[in-house]
Amino acid sequence: MQIASLIATSCLIAEQDDMAMIADNIANASTPAYQAERMQFTDWLAPSPHARPGTERDVAFVVDRGTWRDRTSGAFRKTGNPFDIAIGNPDAWFRVQTQTGVRLTRAGAFTLSANRTVVDQEGDPLLDSAGHPITLGQSDTGISIAADGTLSSRENGILAEIGLVRPTDPSAMTAEGGRLFNPNGPTVPVAAPELMQRMLEDSNVSPILEITHMIDTERQFSFLAQFLQEESDRRQNAMTKITATDA
Q: Which residues bind another protein (CB under 8 A)?
A: 12, 15-17, 19-24, 26-32, 34, 37, 39-40, 64-68, 79-81, 107, 109, 111-116, 121-122, 138-139, 141, 155, 171-172, 174-179, 184, 207, 210-211, 214-215, 217-218, 221-222, 225, 228-229, 232
51 vs 238 by CB, closer to another protein: 238
SS3 category, 236: helix
Of 146 and 211, the one with the shorter C-beta distance to another protein is 211
For the CB of residue 141, give the shortest distance to another protein in the complex, in Å.
Answer: 5
Cβ 167 to another protein, closest distance in Å? 12
Pick between residue 34 and residue 95 the one whose CB is nearest to another protein. Answer: 34
Distance CA 162, CA 99 (A): 20
Contact in structure between 95 and 104 (CB atoms under 8 Å): yes
Provide the minimum distance between the beta carbon of 24 and another protein in the complex, in angstroms, as a whole number. Answer: 4
Q: Which of 176, 206, 183, 197 is nearest to 72 (CA)?
A: 206
Q: Do residues 1 and 210 lie in contact, with contact meaning Cβ atoms separated by under 8 Å?
A: no
* H/E run at residue 237: helix 207-246
Q: Which is nearer to another protein, 40 or 72 (CB)?
A: 40
Choose among 206, 209, 193: nearest CA to 129. 193
Q: With respect to another protein, which residue has the nearer C-beta, 54 or 177?
A: 177
**In angstroms, what is the minimal distance from the CB of 99 to another protein?**
15
Minimum CB distance to another protein, residue 54 (Å)? 26
Query: Least Å distance between CB 128 and another protein?
Result: 18
Region for 189 from its dihedrals, namely left if φ exceeds 0, alpha if ψ lies in -120 to 50, beta otherwise? beta
Q: Which is nearer to another protein, 76 or 148 (CB)?
A: 76
